[in-house]
Structure 1
Amino acid sequence: MANTPQAKKRARQNESRFAINKARRSRIRTFLRKVEEAIASGDKEAATAALRAAQPELMRGVTKGVFHKNTASRKVSRLASRVKSLG
C-alpha cells in the first residue's frame, strides 16, 4: 500500500487512468467486432462502412496511448484486406 502522499496520489491517478483506458479499449473492440460481423455475413457495403467507422476509433486509441501505432495499423490493414476480398 502507498504510504507517502505522492504515492497515494499516483495510485488514485492510476485507478482513474485504468478505468478510462479500459473504456476506450472496450469501445474500440466493439467497433472491430462490428467489422468482423459484417465480414462474416458477407455484406461488403456494411463491412466497408463498419471499417470506415472503426479506423478513426483505432487511431484515436493510438493518440490516447491505448494501442501502439503499429498495432493499430496492422489491425486496419488486415481488416481492409479481408473487406476487399469479399467482393
Structure 2
Amino acid sequence: MSSTSKKHASFVSEPMRRKPVTELPGIGKTAASHLQTRGYEESRDILGQYLVVKGDEQRFRDFVMSNAGANSKSTGDCYRAMKEWTDNFL
C-alpha cells in the first residue's frame, strides 16, 4: 500500500464543505488557477465531475488533465482522494 500525503489524509477525513480546489491532492496553485478560470472554484465542483463520470478513473483523470493541465501523477492523486472521500462520505 502506498503512503498518502498529509494533504490527502486531511482531505479525505473531513466533510468537503466549501474547500477551495487548492485543497485537493494533486492540485497545486497552477492547476487550481486553470480550474478556476474554467469555473471550478471549489472542491465540490470537482466532486460533481467525479460523479458525472460515475467514478470512472480514466474519464475523471482525463477531465482533470484537460481542465487543470495536471500531469499523470497529479491526476492520479486527485482521483485517489476523490474516490476515498466518496467511499467515506457517500
Asked whether the two chains share a fold, i.e. TM above 0.5, the reply is: no
Of structures 1 and 2, the one with the larger relative CO (CA 8 A, separation 6+) is: 2
Task: Select the structure of larger CA radius of gyration.
Answer: 1
TM-score (norm 2): 0.38
TM-score (norm 1): 0.39
Q: Larger % of helix: which?
A: 1
